[in-house]
Chains A and B, each alone.
Chain A
Amino acid sequence: MSKRIVGREAVATKGWLRAHKWLLLRRMSQLGILGLFLLGPLAGIWLIKGTLSASTVLGILPLTDPLILVQSFAAGHLPETAAVFGLIAVLVIYSLLGGRTYCAWVCPVNLITDAAAWTNRRMDSKKNLNLSKTTRWWLLGLIIILSAVSGGIVWELVNPVTTLQRGLLFGMGAGWLLLAAIFVFDAFVQRHGWCGHLCPVGAAYSLLGFTAALRMKAAGRDRCTDCMDCFTVCPEPQVISPALKGGEDSSLLILSPNCLNCGRCIDVCPQDVFCFSKRA
């Protein structure tokens, strides 16, 4: 039996463009958001000022990263109103869109980890660290405790998400080393290692996923041919089973807050099983 290449069947049945629709849209979103931030320093057009940790849109709307503000609060600082309004804005946006939509559509590190995941699939590596996916929860809790104990926002010393974005906007310094390490880790040590096992930023955003109005739906699960392409490509494959392989009375919706709403399962499925849907 020849090795199955993920998405090849989807390309054959739906055409290349439809089999990469959500991937292309997602890349446009990720690069577009980066572009909006870069428009200021490069062209002098200030639609958005700041970085992903905190910013101001059009000089009015503040946005604040929840995890950074939580660490700041744990470290003993009461933030000013702008930062608090920014937090509320972010909480509202992501509890509607799904917290980890941030990971798939905004976070620039996703470009690196997706490339690493692609490399990992190509290598067809059987070796894996088998790190538990719950590691990120421990890390999330521990960095908040460390912030409280040490009185500083600790995760921002190394946070790859802001390191990459801030690096592109202000100067990278040794940030490339950190990002290269994440690529190597994801590609050769642990599949989906960073985003799927360790990143506490993603873990924090996933807490906003419980109420998300936007969810993936395995609407056509009757058509599933068990080709496994969606499981192979999904950064959080454990979230698919309950919707796709659940019993008769199980929900068709992917309810796990860890789903990134990335839409890759829609792309690679030759049977068009998945679609975006409202939480019913």
Chain B
Amino acid sequence: MEKEQPTSPSRRRLLTETLPAAASALVLTALLGAHQRTASALPPYAIRPPGALPEENFLSACLRCGQCVRACTEKLRHDKGGEMPQPETFPTDAGAFVSQLAELGENAPLETAVPVLRLAELGSGIPAGTPYFVPRISPCRLCEDMPCVNACPSGALSKKLKSIYEARMGLAVLVDHENCLNHLGLRCDVCYRNCPVIDKALTLEMQVNQRTGVHARLIPTVHSKHCTGCGRCERSCVLENAAIKVLPLAQAKGTLGRHYRLGWEEKEKAGHSLIPPVLELPVRKPEELP
């Protein structure tokens, strides 16, 4: 019985066809799985369009069709009166872009002429075919009619986003306190003036300039309750490398411990302080000398 098995056609088929086929497919899938693990981490300079689902859900929803990118570019072209340079004339890498702008000098294109949304190319470090923008190169224009969201067929850019000002694409963070001109005591204010949600998302907070002792410093301060993450502040920062940057929410925001309570809020809720106002302490006097 054992001797006859090798000649059985089904066993022969299993060994020469089915197993090698399954094994080849398994090897390819394993390679793909390994590639997926490295390809799915979004670099921090790439920001998803408005309404994008959280990254892990986004990668299961985005069909990689590029219709949001088309809608975005067409809207810009329309607003610009039909003129639009091709996206590929601008490098994806923010640093290279900024030095290219510096080289062009006065011939540098107006900000409105640079396309916003791009579709990731294979090998770019961003999952191929997914949309993103680099705020330093071209920030989101916060179109009130949201053409990108409306163009999305799958819901990866969620239509639950009712107003563009509710978008939370990322969060602006003043990352460099050493080189920000306002921190140095100057009145640069460019990021603040450029913020589309000025005085809500970005405010100037007055501090005493400790260096001179007599002047004020007006510190650009971002408020996550209103910041859409559009990146206008980052784009407009006058430094060679922006001091204020839009970061993905997960990187930008801290989280309080779940058990933390803010005393002043608890006091307001309870209507009174949660601890007795004055502690009665025993009066200690030096013993009287006889």
Q: Report which A residues bind B (CB closer than 8 A).
A: 40-41, 46, 49-51, 53-56, 62, 64-65, 68-69, 72, 75-80, 82-83, 86, 131-132, 134-139, 141-143, 146-147, 150-158, 162-163, 166-167, 169-175, 177-178, 198
Contacts and interface: CB of A to CB of B under 8 A. Distances in A.
A169 B66 contact: yes
Interface residues of B: mostly helix, strand, loop or mixed? helix
A54 B65 contact: yes
Please name the 8 residue pairs, one residue from A and one from B, whose CB atoms are nearest each other, closest first.
Answer: A173-B121, A174-B123, A138-B25, A75-B60, A54-B65, A132-B21, A82-B153, A80-B155
A35 B22 CA distance: 38
B128 A56 contact: no
Nearest to A158: B32
Contacts of A80: 152-155, 159
Interface string B135-157: 00000000000000001111110
Given A146-B32, A162-B129, A54 B153 contact: yes
Contacts of B60: 72, 75-77, 147, 151-153
B65 A51 contact: yes
Interface string B44-82: 000000000000110111111111011000100000000
Interface in B59-117: 59-67, 69-70, 74, 87-88
Contacts of A172: 121-122
Contacts of B87: 170-171
B207 interface: no
Contacts of B24: 131-132, 135, 138
A50 B65 contact: yes
15 contacts: A49-B67, A53-B63, A53-B129, A54-B67, A77-B60, A131-B21, A132-B21, A139-B28, A142-B28, A146-B29, A147-B60, A151-B59, A153-B64, A166-B119, A175-B121
Given A158-B35, A174-B121, A166 B153 contact: no
Given A80-B153, A86-B153, A152-B36, A72 B66 contact: no
Contacts of A175: 121-123, 128
Contacts of A72: 60-61, 63, 154
Contact of B66 (A46, A65, A158, A166): A166
A223 to B, nearest CB: 34
Nearest to A139: B25
A221 to B, nearest CB: 28
A139 B35 CA distance: 16
A136 B159 CA distance: 36
B263 interface: no
A28 to B, nearest CB: 25
Contacts of B118: 170-171
Interface in B24-46: 24-26, 28-29, 32-33, 35-36, 39-40
A49 B70 contact: yes
A162 to B, nearest CB: 6
Contact of A132 (B20, B64, B74): B20
B10 interface: no
Given A152-B59, A162-B64, 14 more contacts: A50-B66, A53-B65, A62-B153, A77-B57, A77-B61, A78-B155, A136-B25, A141-B25, A152-B127, A156-B127, A157-B39, A166-B128, A170-B69, A178-B122
B21 A156 contact: no
Contacts of B163: none
Nearest to A151: B60
A115 B260 CA distance: 66
Contacts of A166: 64, 66, 119, 128-129
Nearest to A175: B122
Nearest to A170: B119
B124 interface: yes
Contact of A173 (B21, B65, B70, B122): B122
Contacts of A198: 28
B64 A53 contact: yes
B17 interface: yes
B33 A154 contact: yes
Contacts of B70: 40-41, 46, 49-50
A157 B35 contact: yes
B122 A54 contact: no
A173 B18 CA distance: 36
Contact of A170 (B39, B66, B123, B152): B66
Contacts of A147: 60
B211 to A, nearest CB: 48
B17, B56, B122 — which one has the most chain A CB atoms within 10 A of its CB? Answer: B122
B26 A157 contact: no
A171 B63 contact: no
